[in-house]
Amino acid sequence: MIRTLGFGLPRLGPNLEYKRLLEGFWSGLLSQEKLLAGLQELEGLRATAYREAVDLHPAGELSLYDPMLDLAVALGLYAAPAGDLEAYYALARGNGALPLRKWFGTNYHYLVPRLPERPQYAPRPGWFPYPIGAPQEEGLPTLIGPYTLVRLAQNPPASPMEVQAHLEALGEAYGELLGWAGGRTVLLQEPALGLDGAGDHLSWLLPVYRTLAERTPLVLLTYYLPLEPGVAEALAQLPLKGLGLVYQPGSPLPHPAPGTALVLGVVEGNGVWRTDLAALQEALTPVVEAGQEVWLTSKAPLFHLPWRVAEPLPPGLEGRLAFAVERLKELSLLKGLLLGEGNPEAQAWHTPPLPWDRVPSPIPPSRPSRQVRRQGQKDLGLPPFPTTTIGSFPQTQELRALRRRLRSGQLDPAAYRARIQEAIRENIRLQEELGLDVLVHGEPERSDMVEFFAERLEGFHTTQGGFVLSYGSRVWRPPILFAPPKRRGSLVLEETLYAQSLTPKPVKAILTGPITLAAWSYLPQGVGFRETVLALAEALREEVKEVAAQGIRMVQVDEPALLEKLPLRERERPGYLEVVREAFLRVVGDLPPGVQVHLHLCYSDYAALRPFLEAMDPDVVSLEGARQDPSFLEALADLPVDLGPGAFDVHSPLEARVEEILARLQGYLRHLPPERLWVNPDCGLKTRKPEEAVANLRNMVEATKKLRERMGGKDADRT
Ligand code: GLN
Ligand code: ZN
């Protein structure tokens, strides 16, 4: 038997209904009643979309904010009485909110719960999944499984004994939670079973799953990562209704117990190109003919994709893309093919990849030695503890309105440019008045650090309405790379040169790096991450060369995605480090020693950073530090690179006082020699109000002056 299962259809809905409902409630425009009614209606819309295409789909997917938070509350980890949405949202976005973290290397952020110190849980079956997936709903009730919770918590148990204790306690708690399903088949989502080390935990996990499966019909769904063969085989022996795993044509499938369906992730949940259904038909036919019950599904939940392909596409892209709704359709087309139905649409569905003609150019020679660079950069004339910013200045409503008018044609490009120049003039004037040492143009022309480059590079398609969820109600529009990226003209050159023409102080040329551009876009068809990154690096290389040729002395590469793209699997990490090294060298490797290379990183776990800095060998690294314990610098202290751990938190609307900044800088100096410390904010100032940004920068400069006085200038001499 063959069935189709859809899951993870965007909770945003076809027209951002989810965002509007949540934000309406938070702003007080919508009552709780209206919010819940709106969500019910949205759930109806989603159910219809599922029903039109697939045989099976989950119920209870429409979290009020985040499914991990729902689970934490349902397990009694936090107090949020059923029906008390204020208490629930306080956990998501209040003062003591749970931290956010990237979910399995995707751009979705989940709320990270804390496990109780002692393995005791107080399940509240009535709460879960409140209120949307109530048992009267159609569909398979779904929730995230105990193993994923344990692995992804703030405090994953350290010793094997503790892991065992938590899993056993959770097994009982889940037993109670699953009772709410009233005997219906439950879809238990366990993507963490694909992580390294899952095999070591199986001996405790298997009995837990077995007990649950004996009481409740259970589909154990894994996705994102293919399972290790040993793990898959062991899980397949459980008395499950179905075992879900990422299908890899050519790799052997596990042999499930009789009556257990193999739920195969066959279409992408995280990429946009239509699936080669004929190839899958060929690969899967023997499995089906052998009598194995197969359910067809996606390799990842579909919320990493926009709802559906709904706007006109440029000529080469028509008929090539599949977003969430089209993925559901693919499942049904594939089922038809496997059942031997001749469907012309299924036959014509997929087109071979567009050509990817890229002749790789030779890697530039390695960068000049650190000593030669120091010598070459001496004339930059930097004082001790140089002050600078990360790039963006506040993006006012006015700037956003200008961009909208440019897009809609109400404003002509020349007028837009004049307004951008005006903003740059104002930013330079302000920085000079504040007394900053290294200036920036302020990025008024950039909507978003990835979309902006995607719009200026050939090879990218950007959408108007292709939104996906980032966290809570926050959305973004990933661009689609479809051909080797090419520089059409200035990316950052024009604005940087204009800014530099207004001041004798050095202005940094600021570019989003190749890793981040690739990480926050959809990859080209049939082209891997590595090749994409290197192609992007090549496009930036041209720009960077030009920037230096025109006399700019500092280049900053922004790579906030560097560490989040660190592969989940240990064995893939050395290869990743190599890609990062080569890509960075391609971007900045042609620069003469006199051009200072800055790297910016933020909001990551810096534990893995050191080998990357060694491999990339920048001159200066700015990173967010105001929310971290300064001791993370210890591991970097002996590297020959200058560091600018953030002097203040750019996300706080509270003013950072001079004394507070000074204390923070002194804290950094306990871990770093003075000649290596730079002074800058954590990240860009884009989201701050102008007066907040100015106050904080003024205090930052003031604190630096005090620091210079205290250090007597001598110890901190840079020469
Ligand atoms: N240069 C960018 C800015 O200042 C960097 C943004 C980021 O790191 N996320 O906004
Ligand atoms: Zn940043």
CATH code: domain of residue 236: 3.20.20.210
- 513, 559 in Cβ contact below 8 A? yes
Cα–ligand 2 centroid distance for 520 (angstroms): 14
pLDDT digits (tens, 9 = 90+) for 437-476: 999 999 999 989 999 999 999 999 999 999 999 999 999 9
Omega before residue 593 within 30° of 0, cis: no
Sequence-distant (≥ 6) Cβ neighbours of residue 507 within 8 angstroms: 428, 438, 439, 440, 441, 496, 499, 500, 552, 554
Sequence-distant (≥ 6) Cβ neighbours of residue 417 within 8 angstroms: none
Q: Are residues 599 and 479 in the same domain?
A: yes
Give the SS3 label for residue 608: helix
Phi-psi label, residue 630: left if phi above 0, alpha if psi -120 to 50, beta otherwise: alpha
Ligand nearest to the CA of 644: 2
In whole angstroms, give the CA distance from residue 681 to residue 388.
8
Cα–ligand 1 centroid distance for 235 (angstroms): 44
In whole angstroms, give the CA distance from residue 290 to residue 633.
58
Ligand nearest to the CA of 390: 1
Going by CA atoms, what residue is nearest to atom 4 of ligand 1? 684
Going by CA atoms, what residue is nearest to atom 6 of ligand 1? 684
Q: Are residues 225 and 303 in the same domain?
A: no
* Nearest alpha carbon to residue 492 among 556, 422, 435, 561: 556
Residues with pLDDT less than 70, the chain:
128-137, 713-719
Is 25 domain-assigned? yes
Is 363 domain-assigned? no
Ligand 1 atom nearest the C-alpha of 686 is 10
Mutate to test the pocket of ligand 1, among 102, 109, 389, 390 (most ligand atoms within 8 A of CB): 390
Going by CA atoms, what residue is nearest to atom 5 of ligand 1? 684
Is 116 domain-assigned? yes
Q: Return the amino acid letter for 436.
A: L
Ligand 1 atom nearest the C-alpha of 556 is 1
- Last residue in a domain, options 291, 318, 352: 352
Q: What is residue 130's predicted lDDT score, i.e. its pLDDT?
A: 57
Q: Are residues 248 and 281 in the same domain?
A: no
- 19, 475 in Cβ contact below 8 A? yes
Is 514 domain-assigned? yes
Domain that holds residue 82: 63-131+139-255
Cα–ligand 2 centroid distance for 504 (angstroms): 26
HSE, CB side, 13 Å, CA atoms: give it for residue 260. Answer: 24
Cα–ligand 1 centroid distance for 361 (angstroms): 29
Q: Are residues 487 and 596 in the same domain?
A: yes
List pocket residues of ligand 1, CB cut-off 6 Å. Answer: 390-392, 443, 449, 510, 558, 560, 600, 602, 683-684, 686
- Last residue in a domain, options 208, 240, 255: 255
Q: Are residues 671 and 540 in the same domain?
A: yes
Q: Are residues 306 and 199 in the same domain?
A: no
Ligand nearest to the CA of 559: 1
Cα–ligand 2 centroid distance for 622 (angstroms): 8
Q: Which residues are catalytic?
A: 651
Omega before residue 131 within 30° of 0, cis: yes
Q: What is residue 326's predicted lDDT score, i.e. its pLDDT?
A: 98
pLDDT digits (tens, 9 = 90+) for 152-162: 999 999 999 99
Is 365 domain-assigned? no
Ligand 1 atom nearest the C-alpha of 390 is 4
Structural domains in the chain (count): 3
Ligand nearest to the CA of 558: 1
β 242-246/261-267 pair status: parallel
Mutate to test the pocket of ligand 1, among 600, 602, 686 (most ligand atoms within 8 A of CB): 600
Ligand nearest to the CA of 687: 1
Is 362 domain-assigned? no
Going by CA atoms, what residue is nearest to atom 1 of ligand 1? 391
Cα–ligand 2 centroid distance for 281 (angstroms): 45
In whole angstroms, give the CA distance from residue 15 to residue 636.
46
Going by CA atoms, what residue is nearest to atom 9 of ligand 1? 560
Mutate to test the pocket of ligand 1, among 399, 443, 452 (most ligand atoms within 8 A of CB): 443
Q: Are residues 383 and 447 in the same domain?
A: yes
Cα 449 to its chain centre, rounded Å, is 14
Cα–ligand 2 centroid distance for 372 (angstroms): 29
In whole angstroms, give the CA distance from residue 244 to residue 263.
4
Ligand 1 atom nearest the C-alpha of 601 is 8
Q: Are residues 534 and 665 in the same domain?
A: yes
Q: Are residues 71 and 35 in the same domain?
A: no
Is 506 domain-assigned? yes
Going by CA atoms, what residue is nearest to atom 3 of ligand 1? 684
Q: Are residues 46 and 172 in the same domain?
A: no
Ligand 1 atom nearest the C-alpha of 684 is 4
- 54, 138 in Cβ contact below 8 A? no
Going by CA atoms, what residue is nearest to atom 10 of ligand 1? 684
Ligand 1 atom nearest the C-alpha of 391 is 4
Is 670 domain-assigned? yes
- 294, 262 in Cβ contact below 8 A? yes
Q: What is residue 582's predicted lDDT score, i.e. its pLDDT?
A: 97
Q: Are residues 342 and 408 in the same domain?
A: no
Ligand nearest to the CA of 391: 1
Cα–ligand 1 centroid distance for 22 (angstroms): 27
Ligand 1 atom nearest the C-alpha of 389 is 4
- Last residue in a domain, options 237, 255, 273: 255
Ligand 1 atom nearest the C-alpha of 560 is 8
Mutate to test the pocket of ligand 1, among 449, 508, 696 (most ligand atoms within 8 A of CB): 449
Going by CA atoms, what residue is nearest to atom 8 of ligand 1? 560
Sign of CA dihedral 75, 80, 82, 87: negative
Q: In what order do the strands lie in the sheet with 508-512?
A: 508-512, 554-558, 596-601, 620-623, 642-645
| Tokens 């890793």 sit on residue | 515
Cα–ligand 2 centroid distance for 320 (angstroms): 34
Q: Are residues 335 and 382 in the same domain?
A: no
Sequence-distant (≥ 6) Cβ neighbours of residue 597 within 8 angstroms: 367, 554, 555, 556, 557, 588, 591, 618, 619, 620
Mutate to test the pocket of ligand 1, among 508, 516, 558 (most ligand atoms within 8 A of CB): 558
CB under 5 Å of ion ligand 2: residues: 560, 602, 683
CB atoms within 10 A of CB 651: 13
Cα–ligand 2 centroid distance for 624 (angstroms): 7
